[in-house]
Structures are given as C-alpha cells and as structure tokens.
C-alpha cells in the first residue's frame, strides 16, 4: 500500500519505530511505553517538543519488525537461545493448564522475546476462580490485576490477569470467558482493535520442534 505521508514524516515514523524497538529489546519496555518515549525523544529533538497526530505514528507491526532487526544486529548470539528457553517454559506451563485451553501470545510467540520478556498466555474459563483454585492447590503464589474489557466483546466486566514466577520467569495469564474463544480475540489499541495472534499447545510444540508434527493425545 502506497503511503500518503511526506518523505519527512515517513523518515520520522521510521526513527520512532527504531527508537521504540531499541527500548523494547534493551530494557524490556512494553510497546505503549516505548512508543511514547520514542516520540518524546525523536519529535522533541526535531520539533521543539511538538506533537504529531496518531495516524502518523508507527503501528505495532512496524515496531515489531524493527525489534527483529535490532535482535539480529545486536543479540544474534543470545536471543535465539533465550527465545527457545521461553517457548519451552511456555509449553510446559500450557501442558499443566491444558484444562483451561491455554494459548500463547506476545513476544514469545512472535519471536521477538529477549532478556527481559515475560510469558503471556490467554486462558478461556467459565470462572476465573477455577484458575485461582488450581494455582493455589499447586502452591503457586500469584498476584491479580485487571484490565479494561475487549472492545469486541459484549462483556463490560474487566478482564482478570493472574501473574506469577515460574522457574525465574514472569508468567501472565489473562482469563477470558469461554465464549470468547469462539470469536476473534482483539486487543484495544487506541480507537482501533487489532487482532491478537495466538497459538495453542500443539502450535507452540511445533515451534520448539519443527520437525515433530505429532499431536497431543
């Protein structure tokens, strides 16, 4: 698709994406925080602290591609092993949580995970309490938080996230209603809703062992 932006704005958007990617790869910043700080850095230095409209900003896909490039340039000797380690941990957790229909999402799935990345899973449950009781019975110490409901969901209730440490890695379980699994899970991003790519246990195992196409029993 041909861009309607001027060469100057295209260059600025590319610089913002690259700066945000560096913060994500180096410091483990989330995309929203990294983009905001990158705008302050790039726009502030070029326009005396002025602002640019949201449609001129890089989207997450552009930033994600810049993270891949940054990892290849500066972490080629360590990032692949780190990614594989996190995927193996994720697969292990997903096996334990099989009854809650776990799906992997985020950097560990898309391949950009680095030293500071956590594991993000989506679970689909009749009641969040079922997951809490399961973890409690496993002697897992966890913390609870909530986030706004998905814009594409008819439910207006906040979405619960359960967070804990597993083998020294941060794990976050976002607990959606079972009915949400039937549709497209979308994450609110400003005024737009972007589809969240996710993978089930078999798909994650295939990422770890591409040559092994065996299914779970």
State residue 36's pLDDT score: 92
Question: How high is the mean pLDDT of the chain?
Answer: 85
State residue 153's pLDDT score: 55
- Domain residue ranges in the chain: 7-74, 79-208
State residue 84's pLDDT score: 97
Question: Alpha helices, DSSP H only, in 7-142?
Answer: 7-27, 31-47, 60-74, 79-96, 107-110, 128-137
Share of the chain above pLDDT 90, in %: 66
Poorest-pLDDT segment among 43-57, 62-76, 185-199, 203-217: 185-199
**In the predicted model, what is the mean pLDDT of residues 146-160?**
71
Identify the band that residue 15 occupies on the pLDDT scale cut at 50, 70 and 90: very high
**In the predicted model, what is the mean pLDDT of residues 156-172?**
93
Residue 95 pLDDT exceeds 70: yes
**In the predicted model, what is the mean pLDDT of residues 137-143?**
97
**In the predicted model, what is the mean pLDDT of residues 106-131?**
95
Residue 159 pLDDT exceeds 50: yes
Q: pLDDT: is 150 or 20 the higher one?
A: 20
Residue 216 pLDDT exceeds 60: no
Residue 76 pLDDT exceeds 90: yes
State residue 191's pLDDT score: 38
Closest CA to 177 of 136, 142, 105, 128: 128
pLDDT digits (tens, 9 = 90+) for 171-209: 999 999 888 776 544 443 333 444 558 899 999 999 998
Q: In this structure, how many other beta carbons lie within 10 angstroms of the beta carbon of residue 74?
A: 14
Quote the CA–CA distance of 177 and 105 in Å, as a whole number: 17
Q: Which CATH architecture has domain 79-208?
A: 2-Layer Sandwich (3.30)
Quote the CA–CA distance of 209 and 212 in Å, as a whole number: 5
């Amino acid at each position: 698709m041909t861009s309607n932006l001027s060469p100057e704005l295209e260059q600025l958007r590319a610089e913002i994406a690259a700066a945000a990617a560096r913060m994500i790869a180096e410091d483990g910043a989330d995309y929203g925080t990294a983009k905001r700080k990158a705008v302050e850095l790039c726009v502030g230095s070029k326009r005396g602290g002025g602002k640019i409209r949201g449609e001129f900003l890089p989207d997450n896909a552009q930033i994600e591609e810049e993270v891949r490039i940054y990892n290849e340039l500066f972490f080629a000797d360590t990032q692949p092993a780190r990614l594989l380690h996190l995927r193996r941990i994720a697969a292990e957790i997903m096996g334990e949580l099989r009854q809650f229909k776990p799906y992997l999402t985020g950097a560990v799935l898309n391949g950009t995970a680095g030293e500071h990345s956590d594991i993000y899973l989506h679970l689909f449950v009749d009641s969040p309490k079922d997951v809490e009781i399961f973890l409690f019975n496993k002697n897992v110490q966890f913390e609870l938080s909530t986030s706004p409901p998905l814009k594409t969901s008819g439910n207006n209730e906040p979405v619960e996230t359960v967070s804990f440490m597993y083998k020294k890695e941060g794990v976050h379980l976002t607990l959606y209603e079972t009915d949400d699994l039937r549709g497209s899970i979308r994450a609110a991003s400003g005024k737009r809703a972007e589809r969240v790519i996710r993978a089930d246990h078999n798909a994650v195992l295939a990422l770890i062992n591409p040559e092994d196409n065996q299914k779970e029993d």
